[in-house]
């Protein structure tokens, strides 16, 4: 039997999980695996970068789950600092460039995995390319930022954007001794939450000394004579002095290669796949991780949701299929958790905005409770907001902000959303109770009770 060749483009979570899983299923005698990675590193936790920057994680290498050498030792022909610059679908081959030497060559494939990830949004603004302006998407990005923070004498940082990355980077920079200003669009930080819930995050950020500026539209980066960022100017003419600027505006799928090759892309520019993570219409090309759109099971559409946990699952599924097995990725419900200082932040399912966009009518219920029995020492506030569909009472989404135990509580709702439960069914769930862990009515259940009332009051 001829040896097949699997080519993997991108050496982080999705790509190397796929390569590793395929290798588990098929040995080198059956399957040759070649993986290309632009950067220096493989299989790292990009989500851990804020904690490395903030000094909670000792060093870069702790974020690396598996080094290039370890992958090679497992029979994967991994080529780092090598960028794939062209995909020839008809010819079943990719053209790659050695980023050190500039040398290029073509590599043929029988099976292809695209795991090219995402890149930070860099709006085309004056000065956006200046020294001192950083994205934090890859470990190479993180290393450049850490090096810069160590060199720079100034102590003023501006973070553009207040989504997960922006908020986590703001905290990290505070922990590193910077004065931090966060410029964000909209009325509240954390626009992945509804504004009423984002307001709670706002207060917590201010309490830790972070300045937040609402409705801020970044217009340009002002630079000094050496071409280094010195301030961020917003559209209303205000200037925010900055010795370092971190872009947390969001990321976009890195799919120029796929686009040029004519592969199907969604509205976000992410690749579109079937349930086995195969690129739609292409028998032998799979794609996963931050370069694809995933099916949002609650909204009933695909979305770009770049998260390491999805990327790892995609890789596992792709590797199983490319290795001759069978697996699927059924979709997501939109779960995400984070924290700022000791305030935990979580969401799953739809925000109000998402529900409207999905064409759903809904009611909301928000409640305040505590993370433990109220009398238990150290009890902290927990706020839970729930969305339910009008008429049917189907659970549509949950947002939680509060003390310890708030973030992962959202998993209860994530499972209930997956199962299509109504809020009435949620009320009856048999959740763990003991005074150190929950009030006798878990806050999620209290929110569900209120949502049941809201559904009834709203009628049909």
* Number of Cβ within a 10 Å radius of residue 206: 12
With CA atoms as reference, report the closest residue to 154 among 224, 59, 249. 224
Examine residue 410 and tell whether it contacts a copy of itself (CB under 8 A).
yes
Q: Where are the alpha helices (DSSP H) in 253-401?
A: 256-260, 308-322, 352-357
Residue 255: closest CA among 285, 300, 212, 217: 285
- For residue 64, what are the CA distances in angstroms to 57, 70, 149? 12, 11, 21
Binding to a copy of itself (CB under 8 A): which residues in 150-179? Answer: 164
Contact between 395 and a copy of itself by CB under 8 A: the answer reads: no
- Please report how close the Cβ of residue 276 comes to a copy of itself at its closest, in angstroms: 13
Distance CA 395, CA 391 (A): 11
Task: Show the site string, 337-366: x = touches a copy of itself by CB under 8 A, - = not.
Answer: xxx----x-x-x------------------
Report, in Å, the least distance between residue 165 CB and a copy of itself: 11
Q: How far, in Å, CA of 275 to CA of 265, rounded?
A: 15
Residue 111 burial by CB count (10 A; 0-12/13-18/19+): exposed, middle or buried? buried
What is the closest distance, in whole angstroms, from the C-beta atom of residue 13 to a copy of itself in the complex? Answer: 7
The token pair that represents 137 in the structure block? 């998407």
Active site residue 47: yes
Pairing of strands 111-114, 4-9: parallel
Which of 91, 186, 209, 330 contacts a copy of itself by CB under 8 A? 330
Which pair of structure tokens corresponds to residue 450? 């209120």
- Record the tokens describing residue 367, joined without a space: 């409640």
Q: Least distance from C-beta 192 to a copy of itself, angstroms?
A: 12
Could you tell me the maximum CA-CA distance found in the chain, to the nearest angstrom? 69
Catalytic residue, chosen from 4, 30, 47, 301, is: 47
Name which of residues 249 to 288 contact a copy of itself (CB under 8 A): none
Contacts of 73 (CB under 8 A, 6+ apart): none
Q: How many chain residues bind a copy of itself (CB under 8 A)?
A: 64
Please choose, from the candidates 309, 308, 307, 394, the residue with its C-alpha nearest in 3D space to the C-alpha of residue 358: 394
DSSP helix/strand/coil, 239? strand
By beta-carbon proximity to a copy of itself, the closer residue of 157 and 305 is: 305
Site string for a copy of itself, 9-38 (x = CB under 8 A): ----x-------------------------
The answer to the question of residue 429 lying near a copy of itself (CB under 8 A) is: yes
- Written as six digits, the tokens of 292 are 């694809």
Stretch that binds a copy of itself, among 3-11, 188-196, 383-391, 435-443 (CB under 8 A): 435-443
Considering beta carbons, is residue 98 or 424 the nearer one to a copy of itself? 424
> Does 57 engage in binding with a copy of itself (CB under 8 A)?
yes
Q: Does 438 bind a copy of itself (CB under 8 A)?
A: yes
Q: Which of 183, 200, 332, 365 binds a copy of itself (CB under 8 A)?
A: 332
Query: Is residue 436 a contact residue for a copy of itself (CB under 8 A)?
Result: yes
Residue 426 φ/ψ region, left for φ over 0, alpha for ψ in the -120 to 50 degree band, beta for the rest: alpha
Interface residue with a copy of itself, options 150, 225, 236, 430 (CB under 8 A)? 430
Q: Which is nearer to a copy of itself, 187 or 330 (CB)?
A: 330
CA pair distance 277, 17, nearest whole angstrom: 13
Q: Which is nearer to a copy of itself, 127 or 331 (CB)?
A: 331
- Residues with catalytic annotation? 47
Residues near a copy of itself, by CB under 8 A: 13, 45, 47-48, 51, 56-57, 62-63, 164, 307-310, 312-313, 328-339, 344, 346, 348, 373, 375-377, 404-405, 407-412, 414-416, 418-419, 421, 425, 428-438, 440-442
């Amino acid at each position: 039997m001829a040896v097949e060749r699997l080519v993997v483009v991108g050496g982080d979570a999705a790509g190397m999980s796929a390569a590793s899983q395929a290798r588990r299923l098929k040995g080198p005698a059956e399957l040759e695996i070649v993986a290309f990675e632009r950067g220096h590193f493989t299989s790292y936790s990009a989500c851990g970068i804020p904690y490395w920057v903030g000094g909670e994680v000792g060093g870069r290498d702790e974020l690396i789950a598996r080094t290039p050498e370890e992958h090679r030792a497992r029979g994967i022909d991994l080529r780092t600092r090598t960028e794939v610059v062209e995909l020839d679908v008809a010819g079943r081959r990719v053209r790659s460039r050695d980023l050190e030497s500039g040398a290029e060559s073509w590599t043929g494939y029988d099976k292809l995995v695209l795991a090219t990830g995402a890149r930070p949004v860099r709006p085309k603004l004056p000065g956006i390319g200046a020294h001192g302006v950083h994205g934090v998407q890859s470990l190479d990005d993180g290393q450049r930022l850490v090096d810069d923070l160590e060199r720079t004498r100034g102590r003023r940082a501006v973070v553009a954007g207040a989504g997960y990355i922006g908020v986590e980077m703001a905290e990290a920079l505070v922990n590193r001794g910077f004065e931090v200003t966060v410029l964000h669009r909209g009325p509240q930080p954390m626009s992945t939450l509804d504004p009423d819930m984002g307001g709670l995050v706002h207060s917590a950020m201010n309490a830790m000394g972070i300045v937040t500026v609402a409705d801020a539209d970044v217009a340009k980066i002002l630079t000094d004579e050496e071409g280094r960022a010195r301030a961020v100017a917003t559209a209303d003419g205000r200037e925010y002095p900055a010795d370092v600027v971190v872009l947390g505006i969001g990321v976009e799928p890195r799919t120029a290669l796929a686009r040029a090759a004519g592969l199907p892309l969604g509205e976000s520019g992410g690749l579109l796949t079937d349930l086995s993570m195969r690129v739609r219409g292409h028998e032998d090309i799979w794609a996963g991780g931050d370069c694809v759109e995933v099916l949002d099971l609650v909204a009933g559409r695909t979305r770009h949701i770049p998260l390491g946990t999805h990327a790892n699952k995609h890789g596992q599924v792709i590797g199983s299929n490319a290795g001759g097995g069978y697996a699927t990725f059924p979709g997501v419900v939109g779960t995400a958790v984070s924290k700022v200082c000791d305030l935990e932040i979580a969401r799953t399912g739809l925000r109000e905005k998402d529900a409207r966009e999905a064409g759903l009518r809904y009611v909301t219920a928000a409640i305040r409770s505590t993370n433990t029995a109220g009398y238990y020492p150290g009890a902290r506030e927990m706020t839970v907001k729930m969305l339910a569909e009008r008429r049917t009472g189907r659970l549509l989404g949950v947002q939680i902000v509060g003390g310890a135990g708030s973030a992962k509580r959202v998993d209860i709702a994530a499972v209930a959303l997956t199962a299509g439960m109504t809020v009435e069914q949620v009320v009856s769930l048999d959740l763990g109770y003991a005074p150190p862990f929950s009030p006798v009515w878990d806050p999620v259940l209290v929110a569900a009770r209120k949502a049941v009332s809201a559904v009834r009051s709203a009628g049909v």
